Structure 1
Amino acid sequence: MSKSSLIPIAFLVIAVIAFSPSKLFGQGGPALVEITPIVSREVASGQTFVGTVTPPRRALVGSAVDGRVIEVFFEEGDRVEKDQPLAQLLTATISLELAAAKAELDYRREQLREMENGSLPEEINQARARLSRAKVMAEFGQRELERLAVLRQKNATSQSEFDSARSIAESTQEEFDEAKAALQLAIDGPRPEKIAQAKAQVAMQEAVVNKLKDQIKKYTIYTRFTGYITVKHTDIGAWATQGGAVAEVIALDEVDVVAKVVDSQVAYINVGDSVRVEVPALPDQALTGRVEAIVPQADVRSRTFPVKIRVKNTIKKSGDPLLKAGMLTRVMLATGGRTQAVLVPKDALVLGGAQPVVWVIDPASITRGDQSQQAKASPVPVRLGVADGSLIQVTGAIDPSHLVVVKGNERIIPNRNGEPSLVNLVPNTATPSTSEVSQKGDGNVVD
């Protein structure tokens, strides 16, 4: 055989190896899984109701003041955080008023500080010097008056000259008394009443400044909780009126699924009950919630009561919520007496297909080696029932004495011939009996 004829055969061998069934199904070895017993116990019988995803909080954010919109920081669909600015109004005029009010406040504070500090030593020395000069002038005026009084008795001077000397003496004495009082005032400092008045003026001006600051804050419009913008009511250049709408915000970190239950069945539902929630638009999601409220007011036409089921939402890395307001849901609510049921952890469910599937293991198929344990897992289609804590009721061809895979089930590759698939068990996997798990409830369930 020539070399040229060998080349196609070599390529054929490589192709067969590359595209063998084991490669196509990614079977690099049995999947590593974790198992737990299936639970069998009594649960309340349930019924499916249609529900709608609604936001637990919804706000129409408005403007507290009139003003021109100069900036908008959001678009419809954006996620916004608590106290995040949404829009900014023009504040040029009020900013000037605030600057003037702050300057006036600084002036009044300095006045108060001057009063509280009292007189400077230089001011006291100046007052003493004025007192000394006034004393000299007063003593000179008194001596001059006494001299002219003697001369007047001897008719050696005129009456007008004597009267002028007396006037000067009285004036200089008054100036001396005034200088003496001024020195004492400089030593004592401002009166307590004056300081109290200055403090009141500072407080009044502080109130004016705070009022203007608060007004400026109102020119920035904020959201008061974390959520998503659903409606945009304004844009740059628009005139915002006091009380006018700027944006509509809804909270979706948690959502309420509202289902309407007839009056004959609502009595079986209790606040705090665990509820399984199905969203047709999200078939690969296993969701559970709890009854948050039962509105005690029925629709008089349909005789149904709104039941709110609170569900924790998943926020994607992009910020987009998994559950969106208005989505259609189906909820399984307890509406009757208790019945024996088979339950598995929600992690045991493999969703996304035409019907939910769980992988079950017969304990008799477990083989133990020195370093590992292996078992055979079989896929079982199931129908879902009521939720009970972290467990979900399932109906199907399941033996309660078997075990169920709760981790690694998405990596198990089904065999083409329908035979069970070989899996490796997580080392030291605990496999208590079904009766022990049933007595302990979901305490042994891996969640």
Structure 2
Amino acid sequence: MPPSPDQLALPAASADARLAPQLPRRAAFLGAGALVAVGYMDPGNWATAISAGARYGYGLLAVVAAASVVAMLLQWIAARIGVVTGRDLAQLSRERFGRRTVIGLWLASEIAIIACDVAEVVGTAVALQLLLHVNLWVGVLLSAVGTIAMLAVQRQGRRTLEALVAGLILLVALCFVAQLAMAQPDWAAAAGGFAPSAQLVRDAGMLWLAAGIVGATVMPHNLYLHSALVSKFAPRSQAGQPAATRAPRAADAPAVAAALRGVNLDTIGSLTFAFLVNAALLILAAAAFHASGMTEVSDLADAHRLLDPLLHSQWASLLFAGALLACGLNSTLTGTLAGQAVMEGFLNLRISQTRRALLTRGLAIVPALAAVGVFGQHGSAELLVASQVVLSLSLPLAVVPLILFASNRELMGAWRVRGVPLVLAWVSAGVILFLNGALLWQGVIG
């Protein structure tokens, strides 16, 4: 059933509400950022970060930082169109593009979601293999159980789910703090890694990993999900209105401004935390593997096996596997929610979350099992990195419509994106297209 007007509207600004402290009122807008940030810490990030850190040391930290800044900008724009229009990116695409374009965008989005789900399946399976000492194919099948478990928690209420997600994110952060303390990185060299290098466009391997980092960090389905999650904060007069409706009225300005302040705080805070986790993972790989001359480490299982002797602690591998499992379980939820938003937005087709989760997870299990069968127990690394490159290649098909809608005067009115943010958004889109073009060119001539 579609949400009711009461669910979409902002709480009335009563006298009691105006006298309430700022924090509780702003806390009502928190939660969407954490759910979106989960997608930026999924097992696909682990594969690319470990490969990048082991092979190039701290050299690709600049790509991690740049991708995180671009992600913040694009998620800020996605949240903005959701709050202002009351519709998500997929709904706006269906309303404003032709049928063929809509079908094409929907198919590209579904491919990206399946690619992301493959990474989640494989990552969760590897974590279960490391913790329970089961075969990888058993872990692949058990990952489906994790999906059902997360959906069961969701039935207890949104706040319960958000609390579980936040708790798992905190667990991941604590695990990395402990591992970095054991690894003792060269922090001066790590700081130097945030300076971009011209080697990026000359080294095919570096470019491949950079594309993987972009795909793992700036995820196209997260743009659809974020705009859908915050669309409930649109003012009553705007939420759910057809495309012909013009931008919010002047009377809605206070409500829109209040919602945007809360949502922006949630977005920037959550994605900053995700950036710190991703940077910590690459720094850990650089300090443990690259510094020891083990530049070919890319498989999660190999990384887990080598951490204990390299860091001289029996806890290092356990912390690594525990954090990986937490990320895998968390990211199953993001894929399901994003799949629902994409299907409902593009096709106006509603199915239950359980059916949606089983559909995408079922499609992801097939290539995961195939990779295990073809490449054996260590076939996860190639599949994980490749899935993130697929995400990078599909990213422009979500970013370009997002910027077009956000800068549309009729749709956004005074809240449209313009000036420096708009320029930066188009520059980001151009860089993504250039990176993808260079990747494809090297693939053709290489």
| Bigger relative CO (Cα 8 Å, ≥ 6 apart) | 2
Bigger Cα Rg:
1
Q: Which has the higher strand share?
A: 1
Task: Give TM-score, length-normalised by structure 1.
Answer: 0.15
Higher helix share: 2
